[in-house]
Chains A and B, each alone.
Chain A
């Protein structure tokens, strides 16, 4: 076997999880929320605490993946191209001037699903493979 196909195959193996992971994150809401679609700007406004209301008037209750999982960093990178320290600095400004609180911080991936299932206004971001009947996809994130 010549060297090039082998190298390409190896490169493919290295890149495949990244490409797939980047493409497979979706923004979901509680299945009973009545929310059908959201724009990226809507999601930015909800997760950055600028405007936490769905078009129907229902209050939006965002949830963050745990800090120790890669999903959280990837979500904010795709959504607003910011690193987590920048997101933390952003929230430090709002917290210490008595404004909006950050999204509910889940302690585990299962905690995110629980939050999404229990609150009618819940909104979160998960791997597409985790989507089940309790949630509904409202935005596919373009990496």
Chain B
């Protein structure tokens, strides 16, 4: 827990910096903006649920989650970013983030580290470590201050365990009609490990990720279609989890060189005080470990002065895999660990205390089937698929 203490100390310093930001403002330097900048973001969040029959997690990279005791672990994090501008066309960016990890520690990770080349204002190329996007708004899903809700809806974003890749991306923007059309393509290899079960992690390193999207921005509207896919390099640790050589008996459970595909549609309407978000996604797997799933969410928010109340609904449902009749029952039951069938209604408010600090409160009412075990951790036989989660979060940038 030592790193947890360091994390807490860092928050205190950062919060101090955030609240003193206006006092620290520099005098006018004239024209030349400095080449180097250091900025950060963080969230101090606490949450609890109303049941000990399963643990609520922010996403499946987390090995454990919430119970009926207030806990700061799933949402609290801190990030620090340095930018260096070599010239008008070339910028270097490095970001370090400390948050609750697959191994239960808060060891800081290098989440972004890239060189960005902008040959003209419509084209940019980035090379290095890049945050994964997959879904609209997802490349900033750890930046609480940039987001409306306490956390990205887990029914939708919870399966995104890929945070960053080592590779490149290229994006281009062109005016079309009264709006802008923007396309992005990326490819890279994962350097990450994720949580597979409470005490078992899965090495994703070397896995190939490729994808891209098309955005159309017009006035208050932004619409995105995206496709991403991953080819796993390393075996899923299912033998370790089950304690015997199950892969020898059921080769289709192997994940090596198998693709998983993620398609999504995102629509955002953002005009004055009104914000609406709608996203739909479909995930399909070439392996027999994970059930294919569909998910979606919608959020409506309306700012009244410094307070922005919001209401949202999210849903995820997966389709059980059909095995040949001769398949042993215990093998056919393995993908049921990836079964999702639940929906969540959430209600909350964001209070913009000052220009770099907000406070959010949120309640999530999750309702689902007792067999909906994929989105949660450490479910017990008492798990009935229903849970209420209470959350408070203080988000800041500095």
Q: A residues engaging B (CB < 8 A)?
A: 41, 45, 50-53, 59-60, 67-68, 80-86, 88-90, 92-98, 101, 104-108, 110-111, 114-115, 118
Contact = CB atoms under 8 A, between A and B. Distances in A.
Interface in B289-342: 303, 306
Contact of B137 (A93, A95, A111): A93
Contacts of B355: 67, 84-85, 88
B245 interface: no
Contacts of B217: 50
A93 B121 contact: no
B146 interface: yes
Contacts of B81: 95-96
A118 B356 CA distance: 31
B27 interface: yes
A98 B140 CA distance: 10
Interface of B: 22, 25-31, 33, 39, 41, 79, 81, 83, 93, 95, 112, 114, 116, 120-122, 126, 130-131, 133, 137, 139-140, 143, 145-147, 173, 175, 178, 180, 217, 219, 271-273, 303, 306, 352, 354-356, 358, 397
A45 B180 CA distance: 9
B130 A96 contact: no
Contacts of B28: 106-108, 110-111
B33 A86 contact: no
Given A50-B217, A81-B272, A86-B303, A93 B143 contact: yes
B93 to A, nearest CB: 5
Given A45-B180, A83-B352, A98-B130, A114 B121 contact: no
B105 to A, nearest CB: 22
A53 B272 CA distance: 24
B397 A88 contact: yes
A82 B306 CA distance: 11
27 contacts: A51-B121, A51-B173, A53-B120, A53-B122, A59-B121, A67-B355, A68-B22, A80-B272, A84-B355, A85-B354, A89-B145, A89-B146, A92-B143, A93-B140, A93-B146, A96-B41, A96-B81, A96-B95, A96-B140, A97-B140, A97-B143, A98-B112, A98-B114, A98-B126, A107-B27, A108-B28, A115-B31
Contacts of B271: 81
Contacts of B180: 45, 50-51
A96 B39 CA distance: 9
B143 A85 contact: no
A92 B145 CA distance: 7
Contacts of B143: 92-93, 96-97
A97 B358 contact: no
A107 B120 contact: no
Contact of B356 (A83, A86, A88, A106): A88
A102 to B, nearest CB: 10
A44 to B, nearest CB: 8
Contacts of A50: 173, 180, 217
A45 to B, nearest CB: 7
A141 to B, nearest CB: 15
Given A68-B22, A85-B358, 4 more contacts: A51-B121, A53-B120, A93-B146, A104-B33
Contacts of A80: 272
A134 to B, nearest CB: 14
